[in-house]
Chains A and B, each alone.
Chain A
Amino acid sequence: MVRGNVNLYPILLLVNYWEIRPSLLGAKLDELAGRGVTQLAAFVPWQAAESDISHALTRFLDAVASRKLRVYLILSPEVGVHFPYSGLPKDLILKQENRAQHSHQGKVTINLPPHAYSLPSLFSPEFNKRYSSFLGRMDSVFSDLAKSQPHLLNYVTPVLSGSFWKYYRSALSASSSAFGGLCGDYSIHAALAYRQRVEQFFCQREFMDPNPSAVNRWKNRSFEEINRKWFYQQSEDVFRSRSLHMIQKKSVGLKISEFEIYTPEADPSVTYSNFLQMISGGHADFSKLSSLVEDFTSRSSLASQSAACSFIHWTSMGGFRMLSESEKQFLILKSLLLVGSQGGGILIDEAEWFGLSSSFRSRADLLARSLMEGELQLKNQALYLAPHLWSSYGTLWEELRAKVNPTLKMVSSMDLVLREKFSQLLIVDPAYILTKELIQKLTAWAKAGRVVVIPRSQLYSQAARIELENILLQTKRIEVDLGLTYRLHSLGEGKLVVYDVPESAFLTGEPLVSCQNFLNTILSISEIETYCKLSNNGLFMIPFEKKRGDLAIFVLNGTKTHVPSDIIFSTPVQISDLGLAFLDGVSASGSEEKVLPANRFSLEVPPYGVLPLTVEGLHLSEHYEKQLAALSSEVTRQNALGAATSELTGLNLEEGCEGVWN
């Protein structure tokens, strides 16, 4: 397993250093190094760190560095750690007042071995105090190492993650759909923080227009659900940046990685299923775990600098352990494919990994290398801007997912949108509060040949409304009513669509059909086309663009039966088996036999199978050249205007250029 120069190698093997006797640690690491492992990950449980009188962590880091292995030390509290209470201090976690509550006022129970427990509230002052002290201790450990054994730090990367935020959901509302229902902590500590933050947030001048009493509209109880969504997102972002700040107090130059770690086995949507397994001794809910992987990977969270690397954690004590070998392999491959090309990967216990067949491991290793080196790229075609990443969003999001999955990403920050290279479409959720600055950013993004779809809702500040009206005044527009009314505006090289918000978030019957028609039109305007279609809905397809411009398609069958299907393309293409490339470790342009060009091919995917195909003849490069030309023209225009503003005194672009010269 080699460290890459593009992405992180996407298979991180977990070694729990506190589980290994000191006398056996060296032998264990030698064994792993001998098997080609060059990087590891380890959770640092608070309990282990707080009582580490024998300096087990330092000795582990020393042993790792002497073998030139890189280790990612996960410092943030996470679920699924092989330590009682996931390593959290017992006295802290057992106090009733420190516990989180979901929206139905119940506790959030994680029933994974070695201990089922209720999650603590990340708003609890006592929790935060202890967490700060833990991070301070770790900061001291790293700064001491920097002074006494600086070479050790060349092999250590501390990792901060998104912690428990995504699990604060009621098992009841999450049972019908993954990430279903309201997500957030409703404990007393959270409620206090919420009230305080709402007061602060709406104190901004923008929300006081046209008069100071206007602010009361935003604080109205009917807006509570909307306000809670941005509040939880902001709290999560603050938690991340505060953690980063705390760990870098003394160890200033230390490089920290930011991950978004997700343990599907601990998700509230499998809580009841876990209960049934515990009493019946049954197998894990494979299909639910599989759908959770899809749901998680359709969300992208913001770290302090960029998008956080998404990692899917498969524990060796929960439901994953009870799956069959083929089910495990399927979930590992699915996770790898969906997150590996975007800088993320999987976290898996080393014993669990080496318990899989060697042929599977070598295939997965080759795939992981391709993803790491950027040979295969999963490009986002569309983005969905939502106020909170872990909440559920009605029909609009669900229908869009059904059409564009897996090249659709939900984001909760405009910064992530601005960093996105490939997406042509951005849809803003009706629950998003629109400010003047956001409108300016959205329209600027659209002008570069993209499509932005924004709601006509009550959630505009006065300044945002005026700004939008001013922008739209200068544009041509078409008003369309297909059940769901929208206005289409031409904006620079791109388009802006303003849609009327449906009365209910979850639509059925005729409104659902109207919503589907609306999305079809939007996708058509954005020139988003699915590369191909499968005639059987039971299969799942992940399309990658290869470096040379061809397409690689992975067709996944998550059932225990053979599934036949046709794969249909809009133009005649040639397909071949990409799997041969993985098996032989050579380029797909090798000597394997290709099928004659056609629009339609018949496939049969084996149970829990992943069928890798190479597709040639789709001419993806032409399409991207057009897109890049539009983008670069907008960038040139922006640069020219920027240069003019800085060089020419008195030039005000908001007033227009003509006045300056006349």
Chain B
Amino acid sequence: MELSYDWKNFQSLFYIKRTLSSTATFGPIYLVTDGRMIVSVLSEGEDLNDWIGSTTDEMVAELGHREVIQFDREKVDEWMDHASGLEHFYDQIQYLRNDSQPQWVTKNKLKQNSFWMHEHFLLFAVRSWWSQLVPSTYGIYIRLDEGRGLSLFLIVQRGRVQSFHVPDLSSMIPDRRKYPSDIVKYLSGHYLVPVQGLFLSTKEWFEWSEMAHPWPKIAAAVHSQHNKLVPFNWGLAFLIATRSYFGI
């Protein structure tokens, strides 16, 4: 049996645990409030739960120098209610991030959206304008550390991730499983879609995943090692370079 949705691997690859920075204690404070009363509070690396039950005014009086981002409880209920009707958790998160509109209680140095969790570079890329240039349905095979690390096969349809799972390569001749091009060829034949393979090291994958704009690094890595993209596609390399230099 092959799962269409291997959530465990998907989560491990795309929703990674962020490393806490030393300045995390000065990060923004997120609130859910019922009227003015705080019902939930979150800040990276801090336990602010003692504030639950107090008012936003009280918090601002003490922590007014910090970025405080507030969501109205009733609105949150509405958003979550709507999100629960969507098909995948990935869609649900996307919906919440796109549609939930916070109110600033205090806004100091941070720009709008700079406090938001940045979307994973690959998920962002597949649903960006690139989707108009690539085939309507295609596969992406991610393999880390030559198979010793995580691997996942995604099928993307019209800019939307349709399914994701660890593919069954057991019917391949064992010797051929060593060769990235053979794996990609096999997957392409098996799933009847063009497949782009990404053969990376775990270190670089997670390093790029943590970055808001990893494209210069990706472009440099692809430039120095063509075998990271299998098959190597000049068109894709050009798109990466464009995003790297112009940010589009």
Contacts and interface: CB of A to CB of B under 8 A. Distances in A.
Interface in A19-44: 19, 21-24
A277 B96 CA distance: 11
B72 to A, nearest CB: 11
A423 B40 CA distance: 37
B42 interface: yes
Given A116-B84, A280-B30, A317-B8, A273 B170 contact: no
B73 A84 contact: no
Given A281-B117, A288-B49, A115 B89 contact: yes
A559 B49 CA distance: 13
Specify which of B17, B39, B42 lies most central, judged by the most chain A CB atoms within 10 Å of its CB. B42
A282 interface: yes
B53 A113 contact: no
B20 interface: yes
Contact of B47 (A82, A287, A316, A324): A287
A287 B45 contact: no
Given A113-B89, A116-B89, A321-B17, A279 B100 contact: yes
Contact of B20 (A94, A176, A283): A283
B76 A19 contact: no
A273 B80 contact: no
Interface string A348-359: 010100000000
B80 A111 contact: yes
B158 interface: no
Interface string B117-146: 110000000000000000000000000000
B5 interface: yes
A113 B93 CA distance: 10
Interface string A271-299: 11101111111110111100000000000
A280 B84 contact: no
Interface in B72-91: 73, 76-77, 79-81, 83-85, 88-89
A351 B71 CA distance: 36
A374 B179 CA distance: 55
B62 interface: no
A56 interface: yes
A172 interface: yes
Contacts of A322: 17
Contacts of A82: 7-8
Contacts of A287: 47, 49
Contact of A175 (B1, B40, B43): B40
B18 A281 contact: yes
A282 B16 CA distance: 10
A117 interface: yes
B146 to A, nearest CB: 19
A277 B89 CA distance: 14
Contact of A275 (B3, B80, B116): B80
27 contacts: A21-B2, A54-B1, A82-B8, A107-B81, A109-B80, A113-B11, A113-B89, A115-B89, A116-B83, A116-B89, A116-B92, A172-B73, A176-B52, A272-B73, A275-B40, A276-B42, A278-B93, A278-B97, A280-B28, A281-B18, A282-B30, A282-B42, A285-B49, A286-B47, A322-B17, A349-B8, A559-B47
Interface of A: 18-19, 21-24, 54, 56, 82, 84, 94, 106-107, 109, 111, 113-118, 171-172, 175-176, 271-273, 275-283, 285-288, 316-317, 321-322, 324, 349, 351, 559
Given A24-B170, A109-B84, A275-B76, 6 more contacts: A111-B84, A113-B7, A272-B76, A281-B18, A317-B7, A349-B8
